[in-house]
A and B are shown apart, each in its own frame.
Chain A
Amino acid sequence: EVQLVETGGGLIKPGGSLRLSCAASGLTVSGNFMSWVRQAPGKGLEWVSIMYSGGSTYYADSVKGRFVISRDNSKNTLYLQMNNLKVEDTAVYYCAGPRPHYFDYWGQGTLVIVSS
């Protein structure tokens, strides 16, 4: 059974940094296509970033240059380093995978609130 567990969310001031983690079981992060998708409160879904199994990374324009996706194969964990956070980054952040184009498995999400 695939399980994705996100942690690391919280309240942060604008301009601050936060690192989210997604611990996976039932699949290998390094062998799959793992994404971050976010959902602002009461709003729709927004794809944020993806790491391909080969290591290539891609970002939504809204976070390019501020967010960095990475993984630790030994811990089977995906990360999202979020820098220079803005109020509009406030959202539930989901980890999802394992296909490159559709999101079969999702974690329960972790809430990030950016507020002064």
Chain B
Amino acid sequence: EIVLTQSPATLSLSPGERATLSCRASQSVSNFLAWYQQKPGQAPRLLIYDASARATGIPARFSGSGSGTDFTLTISSLEPEDFALYYCQQRNNWPSWTFGQGTKVEVK
């Protein structure tokens, strides 16, 4: 099983700041990685797929990069609604999809 390790566990930032979230895979997943945002009491929302492609309706301040084992989700300038949990997910080892443990972006 491919294990995804996200860091940091918690990121404390202020609105307007840049957020950089990391996801590391235990083995190469090529570019087959997605990012999701989840707010309390809500279902996850797909932000990025195939490492860098933005999903429909996702603002341009969200960007993804990386390949192989190291990936990054960047939020260029945090809006109040961006404070949430973020998960990465790999699809390289299908049919067995795995998620990272999550990074919480909280207000500093």
Considering the complex, give the chain A residue whose CB is closest to the CB of B56.
Answer: A104
Report whether B102 and A44 are in contact in the complex, using a CB–CB cutoff of 8 Å: yes
The number of residues on chain B lying at the interface, defined by a beta carbon within 8 Å of a beta carbon of chain A, is: 23
Assembly CA distance A86 to B97 (angstroms): 22
Q: Are A44 and B87 in contact (CB under 8 A)?
A: yes
A44–B99 touching, CB < 8 Å: yes
- Contact at A106–B94, with CB atoms within 8 Å? no
How far does the alpha carbon of A61 sit from the alpha carbon of B32 in the complex, in Å?
A: 21
Are B98 and A47 in contact (CB-based, < 8 A)? yes
Partner pick for A102 among B42, B87, B89, B100, CB 8 A cutoff: B89
B11 within 8 A of A: no
Kindly state whether residue A94 has any CB partner on chain B within 8 Å: yes
- Name B residues whose Cβ lies closer than 8 Å to a Cβ of A: 32, 34, 36, 42-46, 49, 55-56, 87, 89, 91, 94-102
